[in-house]
Amino acid sequence: MTYKKIDLKTWERKEHFEGFMESGTSFSITTKLDVTLFYKRIKEKNLKFYPTFIHQVIQVVNEFDCFKIGFNGNQELVLWDHVEANYTINSKVSDNFISVWTPWHKEVSSFQELYLETLNQHETSKKMAPQVDMPLNLFVISMLPWISFDSFNLNINNNETFLAPIITAGKMIEQQDKKLLPVAIQVHHATSDGYHVALLVDKLQTQFNQF
């Protein structure tokens, strides 16, 4: 969990950061990503969709500094060298979700093995977050495979230290021989703008196309 401290005095985003932190402004953009080829290749490689989706999203998010900004244990503003995904799984013993994380691995098959270990270990837990000592360099991924959506927003009682992106995918739909995946990306305006989310969306689409 390495990082670089951000010096607010010299940071080019100082005014934006301070203004949006004071107002507690976040925003959400929902789009539909074409996962036709992505889904096909996942099946060809005998992989599972959700862990592969998580793996690819982690890889793309880490290409953008604005999505790796957070606070360390001393409440210092930092740029993490790498961020991991805090993702949700479905409980086997209730209707609740469980919040977990799995260390990213460059090889998607290896990451899937780690994901399955995490799933098997915690899917019967009655705790919301059963893992102890979860790292601070996390962003959030969840999937709602039961429903598609055109808009999705989480109304968070502003937590001044929570700057991480929240990425939520919905039920895949088929449209004109294409598989489309609704994806909502919620960010804190203190660290990023619509422009940055647009770049993220474009890169995700490219990543899925080239998988």
**Active-site positions?**
189
Structure tokens belonging to residue 60: 């793309």
Distance CA(161)–CA(184), nearest Å, equals 21
Cα-based angle 167, 97, 59 (whole degrees, multiple of 5): 30
Task: Identify the CA nearest to 137 among candidates 172, 108, 189, 101.
Answer: 101
Distance CA(63)–CA(50), nearest Å, equals 21
Dihedral angle sign, alpha carbons of residues 56, 130, 167, 76: negative
- CA distances, 7 to each of 10, 11, 17, 65, 73 (Å): 6, 6, 12, 15, 17
Q: What is the signed CA dihedral for 160, 62, 51, 116, rounded to 10 degrees?
A: -80
